[in-house]
Amino acid sequence: MTAAEVTAGDLLGWFEQMAVIRGTEKAAHDLFLAGLVKGTTHLAAGHEAVAVGASAALRPDDYVFATYRGHHHAMARGAGPAECLAELMSKATGVCKAKGGSMHLTKASAGMLGSYAIVGAHLPIAAGAAWSAKLRGSGQVAVAFFGDGATNIGAFHEALNLASVWALPVLFVCENNLYMEYTPIGSVTAAGHPAADRAASYRLPAEVIDGNDVVVVADAVGRAADRARAGGGPTVLEAQTYRHFGHSRTDPATYRPAAEVAEWLARDPLEVARKRLADLGVPAAEVEAAAGRAATIVADAVAAAKAADSADPREAFTDVWADGGHQWRT
C-alpha cells in the first residue's frame, strides 16, 4: 500500500489500533506495579507505528518474527489485548497459555511466529521461513523486526548475507530507538545508520524511514514486500523511533537526556497520526471516538485477564516438541 493509496478510513483504523496497543502497554506497566505481572517486561510504547504500519502492508499469511519487545507486533498481527495481558499474568487464557510470558508472545495462526529473547537469533529463522516460501512458491514474505543493538550481532550479518545470496523474500526491519539496552548505539557503532548503512555490503537495498509515521511505514514495507514477492529479494528498512519507557521494567531510563526525550515525545506516533487525520479533514470528534473505543477495549481486556483462571501446572508439558531427552532426535 503506497502513501497515496491510504484513505482517511485506513488511517483512522490504524490510529485506533495504535491506541489499543498503547493502552495495553500502559496496562501491562500498571499491572506489574500492582504485582500482577510475572517476570520481566520490555514495553514498546512509542514503537506502535512500526508494527501497525508494517502489518497493514502485509498479507494475512505472511510471517512475522519479533524481539522480546514484541507486544506491539503480536497485537498488530491479531493477538488480542486480553490474551496478551493474560499471558503476562500467567493465566490459562494467555496467548501461549502462560508458557511464553512477555518475551515470547506467539500466535502462529496469525503468522506471528514468535518473539525471541536472544538478541538477533530470529533473523536466520526468518530467512529460513522465507526460503520455505520461495521453495513452495507461495508468494509469502517473512519479516524480521529487530532492535539497533542486533546489528552488532553475528546472526544479523549471517542472515543478510545468505538472504542476499539466495534472493529470499524476507524483509529486515530495524526498530532503531537509539539505545541498545542502556548504551547509545552511536557510541559503540561505526555506522551512522547501523542497519541501513551495512546493507550495501550484502548487495541489499536499504531505506531509512520515519518509524513514528504509520503511513510512511506502511508505504515502505508495502514496496519492499511487493519487490520480494516479485523475486527481487530482501530489503533492509531502518525505522527511526523511540521507546517511551526504559529498556525493561526495572529501568527508569535516566541516562537519556531530557531534551532528547522531549523531542521524541513531541513526535509521538499517535500525535503524528492525529495530525495526518486532521490534514485529511477527519473531524476531531471522530478521532476522539476512536480513542474512546480503544480505551474501552483495553479496560475490558484488563478485566478479562484479571478474572481469568491461573494456568494449570499440568499443562506445562503439553504442546512442546520434546521431553528433554535424546529420543526425539532419532
Superfamily of the domain at 3-305: Thiamin diphosphate (ThDP)-binding fold, Pyr/PP domains (3.40.50.970)
Query: What would the pLDDT profile of 72-105 be if each residue is shown by its tens digit?
Result: 999 999 999 999 999 999 999 999 999 888 899 9
Most confident of 105-114, 152-161, 314-323: 152-161
Sorted by sequence, the CB contacts under 8 Å of residue 282 that are 6+ apart come out as 8, 11, 12
In 3D, which of 194, 178, 175 has the Cα closest to residue 73? 175
Average pLDDT across the chain, whole number: 93
Residue 237: strand, helix, or coil: strand
CB 171 within 8 A of CB 129: no
CB 36 within 8 A of CB 58: no
Query: What would the pLDDT profile of 117-174 be if each residue is shown by its tens digit?
Result: 999 999 999 999 999 999 999 999 999 999 999 999 999 999 999 999 999 999 999 9
Query: What would the pLDDT profile of 187-245 be if each residue is shown by its tens digit?
Result: 999 999 999 999 999 999 999 999 999 999 999 999 999 999 999 999 999 999 999 98
**326 pLDDT above the threshold of 80:** no
H/E stretch holding 208 reads strand 206-210
C-alpha 167 chain-centroid distance: 24
Task: Print burial letters for 246-276: b (CB count within 10 Å at least 16), e (below 16).
Answer: bbbbeeeeeebeeeeeeebeebbbbebbbeb
CB 69 within 8 A of CB 43: yes
In 3D, which of 124, 116, 141, 123 has the Cα closest to residue 59? 141
Sorted by sequence, the CB contacts under 8 Å of residue 33 that are 6+ apart come out as none
